Amino acid sequence: MNSETQTVADKELLKSAVHENKATSKRGLQERMFTMAFSGFVYPQIWEDPEVDIPAMKIDDTTRIMTICSGGCNMMNYLTESPASVTAIDLNPHHVALGRLKIAALKHLPDYERFFMFFGCADDPKNIENYDKYIAPHLDKYTRDYWEKIVVPHGRRINLFKKNIYKYGLLGKFIGMVHLIAKIYGQDPRDILKATTMDEQKEIFDKTLAPLFDKKFVRMMCGKPESLYGLGIPPSQFDELNASAGGNMAMLLKARLERMACQFPISDNYFAWQAFGRGYDRNNKQAVPRYLKQENYETLKANINNAKVVHKTITEYLDSKGENSFDVYVFLDAQDWMNEEQINDLWAAVLRSASDGARVIFRTAGDISPLADKLTSDNISPWEYDKSVVHPRNEQDRSSIYGGFHTYTLNRNKQSKAA
């Protein structure tokens, strides 16, 4: 399948995942607006905290991980634990190209400093020189064509890495719009990065950002599904969030932003640095993902051949695998998008490909796992839901975006008894 055919197929898959209503209805129009927005480059960085994921995954040197790729950070972060393999899957071609670029950069850039400059700073002209000299010759044709395609107004797409790629993509532009709105009201989100204690973080938040959610315009925008497309939230997921909020989305978003801003030290919360500063802490290099920390660089180099990025849907890929193929599955928040049929197809594929004792982790916009209501008895009966990690893990999640964190463990003996 060539790249043009693949792109058309990707768009059709995205439509099937999101479109549930007629195009002529208000909700149908919202769904189609979302798929138009989400079909492009969305996440330069993902928003799932690896310090929550990794303890639940129980990784050792035999663990085979399947994860959604998204911005590719999770794939790279998991490699710091030296698993047997990490397979990152995505139907978005932009995320596939970014994930493969990260793998090639780690393999072929000559040292940590240039690797950090590329993804930790992402705004230096030397990144383009390093790309041409060290990375480009080793890319597969699909990935090289993607990064060297001419796009207005940047020239070659790889030039995003001399303009701060974290300001681009759907999410980067959304964060930029939030900053603009804050400045219209006389506030600068970057102020919170100046805090030296958590008490100062709380004080700055209460003074600058919290009052914005009382503004009539901000409250109105928070209540519109279209306003959250930049976070990658489709209309169906917005409904779950709105239900969790009791119809008061402004207060829910304020509470989650406050948790990000105030519940964790700003000195190492790289999610807060991205939200409030649109980049990482390049001076101290503490508020950065695991894969960008110097102490993990040699481990990553040793493990990078164990990672690959696949351009397919999760279900399609798992259906191509045999029994006992994976030990851990990471679904991010993808199931919030899925209807009942799609979720059952996914979990049937997981059952066919999973090892005994395999673990599945995922997040939800709301607080509650959707599986009890949506999975058939055949698909749900072999799985044990670990309630002990739901609320504690969610409270430890520094990104603070999600409502629920969920862990399921496969027990085939339970399936046999049920049969």
β 85-90/307-311 pair status = parallel
The token duo for 47 is 């928003």
According to the model, what pLDDT value does residue 224 have? 87
Report d(CA 304, CA 347) in Å as an integer.
28
According to the model, what pLDDT value does residue 50 have? 96
Report d(CA 348, CA 361) in Å as an integer.
16
Count CB neighbours of 110 within 10 A.
10
According to the model, what pLDDT value does residue 39 have? 62
Report d(CA 46, CA 69) in Å as an integer.
9
| 3-class secondary-structure state, position 177 | helix
Residue type for position 378: D
According to the model, what pLDDT value does residue 11 have? 58
> What separation in angstroms does the CA of 162 have from each of 119, 156, 273, 278, 325?
10, 11, 19, 14, 39
According to the model, what pLDDT value does residue 316 have? 93
According to the model, what pLDDT value does residue 4 have? 45
According to the model, what pLDDT value does residue 226 have? 82
pLDDT tens figures, 335-366: 987 889 989 999 999 999 999 999 999 998 88
The token duo for 3 is 């790249």
According to the model, what pLDDT value does residue 3 have? 46
- The neighbouring-strand residues paired with 87 are 66, 308
The token duo for 390 is 């739901």
Domain boundaries, the chain: 3-38, 167-277
| 3-class secondary-structure state, position 398 | coil
In Å, the largest CA–CA distance within the chain is: 63
Name, in order, each residue with C-beta under 8 angstroms of 183's C-beta and a sequence gap of 6 or more.
none
The token duo for 23 is 């195009």
According to the model, what pLDDT value does residue 23 have? 67
- The neighbouring-strand residues paired with 271 are none
Segments of the chain with pLDDT less than 50: 1-6, 419
Q: How many residues does the chain have?
A: 419
